[in-house]
Chain A
Amino acid sequence: MAFVNDVIDRLRCVLSAGALLASTEELKPYECDALTLYRQLPLAVALPADEAEVAAVLRACAQARVPVIARGAGTGLSGGATPRPDAVVMSLARLNRIISIDPLARTARVQPGVRNLAISEAAAPHGLYYAPDPSSQIACTIGGNVAENSGGVHCLKYGLTVHNLLALRVVSIEGEVLEIGSHALDAPGYDLLALLTGSEGLLAVVSEVTVRLIPRPQCARVVLAVFDSLAAAGQAVADVIAAGIVPAGLEMMDRSTIAAVEPFVHAGYPLDAEAVLLCECDGTAHEVEEEILRVEAVLSRAGARECRVSRDEAQRLRFWAGRKAAFPAMGAISPDYYCMDGSIPRQRLASVLQAIREMEGKYGLRCSNVFHAGDGNLHPLILFDSSIADEVARAEAFGGEILELCVREGGSITGEHGVGLEKINHMCVQFGSAELEAFHAVKSAFDPHGLLNPGKAVPTLHRCAEFGRLHVRGGNVPHPELPRF
């Protein structure tokens, strides 16, 4: 206990008054991220105000060998920012300044606690914006986006976070500031910018981010396509890509999602449809017109019973409103829901959606699908009620089976939400022990004592042995001749 008090005292010294929280009621808001299944109070919460304080906090914790968990807005869905009782949570929320916007270089330099949407708002007067747009963009921070390599509806055309970064400043666990990447298009040495993006706070703490801005397209229109079969809608997505069209966004909602959102938003989705696709085209007015025609042709050929094209901006937003309201709407129809995040080749959408359907029976739980179809990034929402005995366990088992299916189909256990605590066991399915050891070694190269967000993202081999799951290599499972779902 003595050392604990020491660290807290030391942190109080390096932070300004009120920037160290240690009482139970002060710690409570930090007990979980948006994956609320996992809750835990940390030792303390540090609220540094600038990079120097970030470095001082890290130095103090490193000296005392106390783990540090970086936290942005806590909207993560995989438990990446879940505290542990022996760790200090370091919130970057106070580093929320947009340092500069350079319209001619098309860059924004921002502190890590700046909200994703705030960057686009600040760039708007110059006709520019920051493209990656997670649905949580009004709340999530750019630091969290970097740590998760977050995606969004428009990442199909404009890339993920990793494609839209130029440079980072990061602070190592020893409190040393490193400049990663550069304002040029490359930097000497290894591509540490790529390595750090998506590293879930395990390698270093991001203290500044330079993002690329792009010109806002002159016009955007969306096609709403209605399907009578989930399989046809899944195939239609693959057909759009196969036709060489890379739309700005291509999202799918299934019947149960439509039923949940339509009463909320009155977007005009037909309640009897098995699936709705939203396909957005952007660019100049002529370009959009040309692309819309091609998209409509592909979708009709794929069996869409109806294609509606947004006539104006108000209608475009109304078409999207249902997609955007999907999460809150689920909250209204089910006491709890569990949002999964796996990715698969787009050719597999139809069969995987069908398999999920069949799992609903097996687990006795409903599952709605509303997701980034164009990227092959599934977000099955498993509906459950945590007050009913064993529903949590069933929901987790259901989710786990979906993830394993994704790996078998040649995909990944996470497309954009990260591994965190939630999917740590499933890492054992996707990777063999040699790769997992390499990940641990990479972590040690940055953080020799394992103090940055320990226990997340990469499982120990011991844990995998206990979990007892079979690693599936390159889609090859033992006994491939057996039916899998």
Chain B
Amino acid sequence: MSELQSLQERIRAAAAATQPLRIRGGGSKDFYGRALAGELLDVSALSGITHCEPTELVISARAGTPLAVLERELSAHDQMLGFEPPRFEGRATIGGAVASGLSGPRRAYCGAVRDFVLGVEMLDGRGQLLRFGGKVIKNVAGFDVSRLMAGSLGTLGLLTEITVKTVPRPRAECTLRFEMDQERALESMARWATRALPLSATAWHDGALYVRLSGADAAVRVGREVLGGEVISDAEQFWDSIREQRLPFFAAAQELWRVSLPSHSPELPIPGPAMIEWGGSLRWLPGPQDSGTLRELAARFGGHATLYRARVNPPEGTFQPLLPAMLLLHKRLKAVFDPQGILNRGRIYPAL
């Protein structure tokens, strides 16, 4: 029996017995979302690149394929994953990257995981094998279920194979550092983003703003002249330490809040250290924080707050609660793909 068939059998049996299953790729994001009961369904053996067409800027791989394997293949063709997902010590898989929907430093300038997903093959909660999307850049036949899977944390199906669009590696890159406080950094990031500059990442932390420029040699050179600042030498390491959350800021925090806001929202009136990414759209805060206050504040600006890393199943929930009408719609969609409610039950919200 193939690996796929045995996963399919497991799901069918679990559905018949209404036995919850806990889907796991590399386990690098076990911390993310609510902890689960249920039998472990390990996808890591479902591994390998199935289709790599460098001339099409498209790659397909089985869900358990480590990102590292994918990235190695792509870099041989001078390509990369545009959404720069965290690899978390090499444990992250493409399935987990898509299911969690977590994107890296390039997100604000190049797009999120979902923007690069072209197609998925998946097992739904009945064990049916379904295929959505495809391997082409443009495809509007049927509802876009493959993008819906990005960020659904395995609650709608077990991804078995994924096709993503890749991007050419930029020909030039350079990172600039500016000493400035948070308020000025927010203002600068917003202003620079309105100009035709080849921005590919921004981060503010500990009194300094970092700006990465990527693209054609000429574009990066001109960008550097326009912006000024000091060129940093260990740029790749620096962005990796943010992408992989190895910066001491992340490691030191017992609890970590991820606050997603419209980019130009002002500095949050919350004392203590902070770390900002994505041109101001992503703000990390160490915990503990009063969840009610923080979520109300985020909502007031038009955003939301996630208790990204915490002790097990905090009573306040990992994700900002949905309004009743939205929750109802979510429950109905969950029932479409997983009528017995066996897949990663409760990982996002108790009701899903």
Residues of A within 8 A of B281 (CB): 184-185
Report if A286 contacts B (CB, 8 A): yes
Q: Shortest Cβ distance from A407 into chain B, in angstroms? A: 9
Considering the chains assembled together, what is the distance between the CA atoms of A51 and B268 in angstroms? Answer: 33
Residues of A within 8 A of B326 (CB): 178, 189
B142-A445 in contact (CB<8A): no
Residue of B nearest to A166 (CB): B262
Report if B32 contacts A (CB, 8 A): no
Considering the chains assembled together, what is the distance between the CA atoms of A374 and B112 in angstroms? Answer: 22
B262-A188 in contact (CB<8A): no
Interface centre among A284, A289, A345, A473, by most B CB within 10 Å?
A284
A188-B261 in contact (CB<8A): no
Considering the chains assembled together, what is the distance between the CA atoms of A185 and B113 in angstroms? Answer: 12
Give A161-187 as 1s and 0s: 1 = Cβ < 8 Å from B's Cβ atoms.
Answer: 011000000001000101000111111
Q: Shortest Cβ distance from A40 into chain B, in angstroms? A: 23
Give A2-22 as 1s and 0s: 1 = Cβ < 8 Å from B's Cβ atoms.
Answer: 000000000000000000000
Report if B333 contacts A (CB, 8 A): yes
Considering the chains assembled together, what is the distance between the CA atoms of A197 and B145 in angstroms? Answer: 11
Considering the chains assembled together, what is the distance between the CA atoms of A162 and B56 in angstroms? Answer: 21
Considering the chains assembled together, what is the distance between the CA atoms of A446 and B336 in angstroms? Answer: 11
B135-A284 in contact (CB<8A): no
**With A244-B78, A442-B336: A191-B101 Cβ-Cβ less than 8 Å:** yes
- Which of A186, A217, A239 sits near B112, CB closer than 8 Å? A186
Residue of B nearest to A345 (CB): B56
Considering the chains assembled together, what is the distance between the CA atoms of A344 and B134 in angstroms? Answer: 10
Report if B194 contacts A (CB, 8 A): yes
Quick check: which of A24-32, A89-97, A100-108, A355-363 contacts chain B, the rest being far away?
A100-108
Considering the chains assembled together, what is the distance between the CA atoms of A238 and B147 in angstroms? Answer: 26
A412-B260 in contact (CB<8A): no
Residues of A within 8 A of B194 (CB): 103-104, 106, 126-128, 215
Residues of B within 8 A of A414 (CB): 139-141
Report if B55 contacts A (CB, 8 A): yes
Report if B230 contacts A (CB, 8 A): no
Report if A427 contacts B (CB, 8 A): yes
B329-A446 in contact (CB<8A): yes
Residue of A nearest to B117 (CB): A194
Quick check: which of B148-156, B242-250, B284-292 contacts chain A, the rest being far away?
B148-156
Considering the chains assembled together, what is the distance between the CA atoms of A375 and B145 in angstroms? Answer: 21
A105-B190 in contact (CB<8A): yes
Report if B312 contacts A (CB, 8 A): no
A162-B134 in contact (CB<8A): no
Report if A391 contacts B (CB, 8 A): no
Report if A455 contacts B (CB, 8 A): no
A242-B54 in contact (CB<8A): yes
Residue of A nearest to B155 (CB): A190
Report if A195 contacts B (CB, 8 A): yes
Considering the chains assembled together, what is the distance between the CA atoms of A94 and B306 in angstroms? Answer: 39
- Which of B145, B151, B217 sits near A438, CB closer than 8 Å? B145
Report if B138 contacts A (CB, 8 A): yes
- Which of A149, A346, A412, A418 sits near B55, CB closer than 8 Å? A346
- Which of B142, B147, B261, B332 sits near A194, CB closer than 8 Å? B147
**With A188-B319, A290-B217, A343-B138: A195-B145 Cβ-Cβ less than 8 Å:** yes
**With A178-B326, A343-B138, A410-B136: A184-B219 Cβ-Cβ less than 8 Å:** no
B140-A198 in contact (CB<8A): yes
Q: Shortest Cβ distance from B283 into chain A, in angstroms? A: 10
B144-A441 in contact (CB<8A): no
Considering the chains assembled together, what is the distance between the CA atoms of A435 and B141 in angstroms? Answer: 11
Report if A159 contacts B (CB, 8 A): yes
Q: Shortest Cβ distance from B160 into chain A, in angstroms? A: 13
A415-B140 in contact (CB<8A): yes
A188-B306 in contact (CB<8A): yes
A191-B219 in contact (CB<8A): no
Residues of B within 8 A of A474 (CB): 131
Report if B252 contacts A (CB, 8 A): no
Residues of A within 8 A of B216 (CB): 283, 286-287, 290-291
Residues of A within 8 A of B147 (CB): 162, 191, 194-195
Report if A1 contacts B (CB, 8 A): no
Considering the chains assembled together, what is the distance between the CA atoms of A438 and B334 in angstroms? Answer: 12
B196-A217 in contact (CB<8A): yes
Considering the chains assembled together, what is the distance between the CA atoms of A423 and B230 in angstroms? Answer: 56
Report if B218 contacts A (CB, 8 A): yes
A191-B329 in contact (CB<8A): no
Residues of B within 8 A of A104 (CB): 190-191, 194, 264
**With A195-B145, A290-B216, A415-B138: A189-B348 Cβ-Cβ less than 8 Å:** yes
B141-A431 in contact (CB<8A): yes
Residues of A within 8 A of B229 (CB): none
A190-B140 in contact (CB<8A): no
Chain B contacts with A in 194-227, Cβ cutoff 8 A: 194-198, 215-219, 221-222
Residue of B nearest to A213 (CB): B194
Residue of A nearest to B137 (CB): A375
B168-A186 in contact (CB<8A): no
Q: Would you list the 9 A-B pairs with minimal beta carbon distance, nearest first?
A: A286-B218, A244-B168, A194-B147, A242-B55, A415-B138, A445-B332, A412-B139, A287-B219, A184-B303
* 25 A-B contact pairs sorted by A residue (CB < 8 Å): A104-B190, A151-B138, A178-B325, A182-B304, A184-B260, A184-B281, A188-B320, A189-B322, A190-B330, A194-B147, A195-B144, A195-B145, A195-B147, A197-B144, A199-B143, A244-B169, A286-B219, A287-B198, A287-B216, A291-B216, A346-B56, A377-B137, A416-B138, A430-B141, A442-B333
Report which A residues bind B (CB closer than 8 A): 102-107, 126-128, 148-149, 151, 155, 159-160, 162-163, 172, 176, 178, 182-192, 194-195, 197-199, 202-203, 215-218, 238-239, 241-242, 244-246, 283-284, 286-287, 289-291, 343-347, 372, 375-377, 410-419, 423, 427, 430-432, 434-435, 438-439, 441-446, 457-458, 473-474
Report which B residues bind A (CB closer than 8 A): 53-58, 78-79, 101, 107-108, 111-112, 114-115, 124, 128-132, 134-145, 147-148, 150-152, 156, 167-169, 190-191, 193-198, 215-219, 221-222, 260-264, 278, 281-282, 302-304, 306, 319-322, 325-326, 329-330, 332-333, 335-337, 348-349
